[in-house]
Amino acid sequence: MAWQNWLLLLILLSSMVPGLIIFTLAESNRGWRTALNLCGAVVKMILVLVMIIGISQGQRFAVALPLLPGVDLVLRADPLSALFVALSSLLWLFTTLYAVAYLEDSPNRSHFFGYFSLCVTVTIGIALAGNLLTFLFFFEMLTLTTYPLVIHRGTAEAMAAGRVYLLYTLTGGLLLFLGVVWLYVLVGEVDFSRQGLLMPLLDGHRPALIGIFCLLISGVGVKAALVPLHGWLPRAMVAPAPVSALLHAVAVVKAGAFGIMRIVLDVYGLPLTSGLGLLMPLMLVATCTILYGSLLALRQDNLKRLLAYSTVSQVSYIVLGITIGNPLAIMGGMVHLIHQGIMKITLFFCAGNIAETLGVHAISRMNGVGRRLPLTMGAFTLAAMGMIGLPPLAGFVSKWYLGLGAINQGEGWLLVVLVLSTLLNAAYFLPIIYRAWFREQEGPWPKDSGAMGLWECHWMLVVPPLLTAAISLLVGLLANSTLSPLAWVRFIVTTRYEPW
């Protein structure tokens, strides 16, 4: 096997092996645990960089393992997987740093970091999956590895949230399973690289194709939190902040959105999807989700729940971009996978800081937080502005391309949706920013763990959000440079989806 094939396995192992070792470490063994985690994260970053450079030079990375006669487990790196892999490994590094400080002195850390690493491994597996069965394989494992993280606190509320989470995701998994098996019975191996695979079935198997599409999309739609399958997401907010950050920005929700991309773009292909009349319904679901999520976010007083509903809304931009279906809109949707991840993880880091340092969870208690935690609130403000879509931040770029795509496609009404959603975003983010910076503090904080030297709280809690906020500014400012996510997305779209 050439080194190119080993690379994909190494990328998986670079987080799996540390995870498995961490399970065996004693609770008090903080040094080794942190070292292993960070080593794994850095090694993974380097390997992913090698992979991305290789792909951009036209090298091929693939490895296959026979699972059953006629069915292989395939890992393959195409430009789209590279996009998701890059996001996951970059944000894993930041989240690990953050989590080390966040969970200081709390119980069960070995357990936490073990599952945390496995969760990232599985997410990378989803990104690298080369066919639909491999995707299903990792997608189901994601449920298993995230469940222990959701119930990590062990309170009655956390256990209940865990039950709801399982109910939604396992049911979704079964639907997905049924759809995948049905499709395999119809056509055999469903490889993502073979476009137009299902086209010949259009004449004879139209109802079956529609049925399978519904099964597949509702299966992944649970994790992507499409309305009405989003109920688990706000409840899962009881998990510790790094977990929420990971679930929202990288792992679960993104895996769902990524799955929709794979199914619509690579399994069915846009021509077939629109030929079956399925693009429009999916677009309607996406618009409903965008608006409904924002409307519910407006009503929240708990900061993390607000962010959760905001995720429900924002992730559907990705789906919207795919369903509009012209290259510009697809670019907008795809690049939002990255942009939303970076901005949302910043917001969750900040929410976690505020809760950990000051004990403040409710937005109504956030008056004057900006004075006490200026760096945290600075990062928060930047990310929130990005979410609203102010230029030149990351969110603006996504919305710009989505809007351009919608106009080009002749779907002008979507502009109204985009504007409405932007107004709603502003309506729930601006009051928070206003309270934090311009209102006076009311009474003492519920608790205050105090400043640490130069920093307003533990430096490992402040640096990650500052970095991710800076990145969200940079990817917007430098969107047109050759190194930006947008450039990579343009590369994906021009090489694969341009003909349509």
Partner 1 sequence: MNLSPDSSAWIIWPVVVPLLGAVVCFLYKKKPRLAGHFFAVVTCGTSTVLGWQVLSQGVGRHLLGGWSPPLGISLRADGPAALMVMMTAVTGLGITLYSGGYFQSRLAGDSQDHRFRAQEQSFWPLWLLLWAALNGLFLSGDIFNIYISLELVALSSVGLTVLSGKPPSLVAAMRYLLVSLLGSLTFLLGVGFFYKAHGTLELAVISKALAPTPPVIMALALVSVGLMLKTALFPFHFWLPPAHANALAPVSAILSALVIKGSWYLFYRFWQGGGLLAAVGIVPALLGSVAIIWGAFQAFSQQRLKMLVAYSTVAQIGYLFVAFPLLVDSAGQGRDALFYFAISHSCAKAAMFLAAGTFFLQLGHDRIRDLAGVRQLLPVSSFAFALGGVSLMGLPPSGGFIAKYLLVSKAISQDLWWLALIAVVGSGLTAVYVFRAVSSVLSPHLLEERPLLVVAASMQWSALALALLAIVLGIMAPLPLALLEVT
Nearer to partner 1, 243 or 463 (CB): 243
Binding mask 215-254 for partner 1 (x = CB under 8 A): ----------------------------------------
Q: Packing angle between helix 485-492 and helix 327-353, nearest 10 degrees? A: 140
Q: Of the candidates 20, 59, 111, 276, which one interacts with partner 1 according to CB under 8 A? A: 111
C-alpha closest to that of 82 among 496, 398, 467: 496
Cβ contacts of 58 within 8 Å, gap of 6 or more: none
Phi, psi dihedrals of residue 250, rounded to the nearest 5°: -120, -60
Q: How many residues bind partner 1 (CB under 8 A)?
A: 36
Nearer to partner 1, 105 or 440 (CB): 105
Nearer to partner 1, 210 or 362 (CB): 210
Under rule CB under 8 A, residue 174 binds partner 1: yes
Q: Of the candidates 151, 306, 393, 433, which one interacts with partner 1 according to CB under 8 A? A: 151
Under rule CB under 8 A, residue 2 binds partner 1: no
Q: Of the candidates 141, 312, 406, 462, which one interacts with partner 1 according to CB under 8 A? A: 141
C-alpha closest to that of 233 among 165, 149, 186: 165
Under rule CB under 8 A, residue 152 binds partner 1: yes
Q: Of the candidates 18, 19, 162, 259, which one interacts with partner 1 according to CB under 8 A? A: 162
Write out the binding residues for partner 1, residues 175-204 only, by CB under 8 A: 177-178, 181-182, 184-185
Question: Residue type at 249?
Answer: A
Query: Closest distance between partner 1 and the C-beta of residue 174, in Å?
Result: 5
Q: Of the candidates 15, 88, 123, 143, which one interacts with partner 1 according to CB under 8 A? A: 143
Write out the binding residues for partner 1, residues 49-68 only, by CB under 8 A: 65-68
Q: Of the candidates 108, 193, 274, 302, which one interacts with partner 1 according to CB under 8 A? A: 108
Could you tell me how far CA 113 lies from the centroid of its own chain? 19
Maximum Cα–Cα distance across the chain: 71
Query: Closest distance between partner 1 and the C-beta of residue 178, in Å?
Result: 6
Under rule CB under 8 A, residue 137 binds partner 1: yes
Under rule CB under 8 A, residue 136 binds partner 1: yes
Nearer to partner 1, 262 or 344 (CB): 262
What residues line the site for partner 1 (CB under 8 A)?
Answer: 23, 65-69, 73, 107-108, 111, 136-138, 140-141, 143-144, 148, 151-154, 159, 162-163, 166, 170-171, 173-174, 177-178, 181-182, 184-185
